[in-house]
Amino acid sequence: MNRPLLQFVCLLVIPALLGLIFNAVRANSLKIFDDRPMRPPLENGGQGGNGDSGGKTVDEFNIEELKTILKEGEAILIDARKPEKFLAGHLVTAINIPSTQIFRPETINKVKALISPVDEIVIYCGGKDCNASKDVLEFLIGMEYPAENIRIFKPGWELLGQADIPKAVGEE
Amino acid sequence: MKDETKRAVELSLAILVGLVFIIFGLSKLSNPPELAQNIRNYRWDFLPGWFTRFGAVVLPWWEIAAGVAICYSSWRRPACWIIGGMTALFAVAVISAIYRGLDIDCGCFGGGAKVGIKTLALEIGILAAVGVILKCSRSVEKNSEEE
């Protein structure tokens, strides 16, 4: 092997090994081969369905359970709808992470500031046909939030808007 | 152009490009999860998750190593290949992001700089500088052999 080619290989291999070693010992290390399966979104809010979601059946995550979670403040609630819809009405403890803005640096900073990796997270969007919750779920998993702590309330605002749950208008 | 001038141009550009790459690498070194997110933000869905995470772990180290190596004449050429390759890849990523209208952080400095024409101009400038370094280096080497 000629000298420049050998140097080229050294410049690729040695830093890569250093990076992997440094990553293995650091506090916020990345698990390179940890392809955690995404938890499937719940198909409904407990009004039928029999899918399984990380050990909990869909029936276990009904609107009553959501009310309990909210009452006890056990979870961070994320409204994935557009800001104008959020301003028009949202659940009282919800924070707005619009799926259309998840790639902005300010959104990343907001998520880091408000959500800890150990928090339980519930996401909702407009209704059972919207994909905004799924986009936010993928974004959070991308930010290394554990998939097992994140759940989607699939019926979304269609059901929540009519439910007996405290709501607010305006900013969070 | 005289050989001395070529050597001076080569060395100046090599130090400049080297410093830029060392700054790129150091700014990203402390937070691999954030860099992984920045890479994912480009939405190249064909890339497997492990590849993105591996890139986030090793990329800053490659940048620092290549940035240091390009400052030394004996390591300059392979460092140019690596810097040129990485910069070409970054430029393709930036062009694809601009084309798709993605409003994202470029991930160049570990956060804060958005993808746009300025980012692309920086990448093209680095590629041009690497080209000049290689050309000057070859020309000086050829002249020395002839003498």
A114-131 pLDDT tens trace: 888 888 888 999 887 777
Find all residues with CB under 8 Å of B124, minimum gap 6, and list them: B91
A20-41 pLDDT tens trace: 999 888 766 777 876 544 333 3
Q: How many CB pairs under 8 A join A and B?
A: 80
ipTM value: 0.87
> Once rounded to an integer, what is the mean pLDDT over residues B106-129?
86
- Host H or E run for residue A142: helix A132-142
- Whether B108 shows a pLDDT value over 90: the answer reads no
Instruction: Determine the distance in angstroms separating the CA of B55 from the nearest CA of chain A, rounded to an integer.
Output: 9
Answer whether B33 sits within 8 Å of A33, measured CB to CB: no
Closest partner CB to A30 (pick from B36, B60, B65): B36
Q: Give the distance, in angstroms, between the CA of residue A122 and the centroid of all CA atoms in the same chain.
A: 8
Residues in chain B with CB shorter than 8 Å from the CB of A11 are 62, 65-66, 69, 75, 78-79, 82
Please name the residue of chain B whose CA is at the shortest distance from the CA of residue A16: B58
Residues in chain B with CB shorter than 8 Å from the CB of A4 are 77-78
Contact A135, A102 (CB under 8 A): yes
Residues in chain A with CB shorter than 8 Å from the CB of B58 are 15-16, 19-20
Q: What is the pLDDT of residue A51?
A: 34
B8-50 pLDDT tens trace: 999 999 999 999 999 999 988 877 877 887 787 787 878 887 8
Q: What is the pLDDT of residue A53?
A: 37
DSSP, collapsed to helix, strand or coil, labels residue A63 as: helix
Asked whether the CA dihedral B97, B99, B103, B109 is positive or negative, the reply is: positive
Give the residue numbers in B contacting A (CB under 8 Å), as ranges.
31-34, 36-37, 40-41, 49-50, 53-54, 56-58, 60-62, 64-66, 69, 75, 77-79, 81-82, 102-105, 111-112, 114
pTM for the structure as a whole: 0.61
Answer whether A8 sits within 8 Å of B57, measured CB to CB: no
DSSP A126: S
Residues in chain A with CB shorter than 8 Å from the CB of B37 are 108, 142-143
**What are the contacts of B92-95 at 24+ separation with CB within 8 A?**
B93/B42, B93/B44, B94/B119, B94/B120, B94/B123, B95/B120
A43-97 pLDDT tens trace: 333 333 333 333 333 333 677 778 777 777 778 899 999 899 999 999 888 899 9
Nearest residue to B67 via CA among B30, B35, B32, B27: B27
B81-102 pLDDT tens trace: 999 999 999 999 999 989 988 7
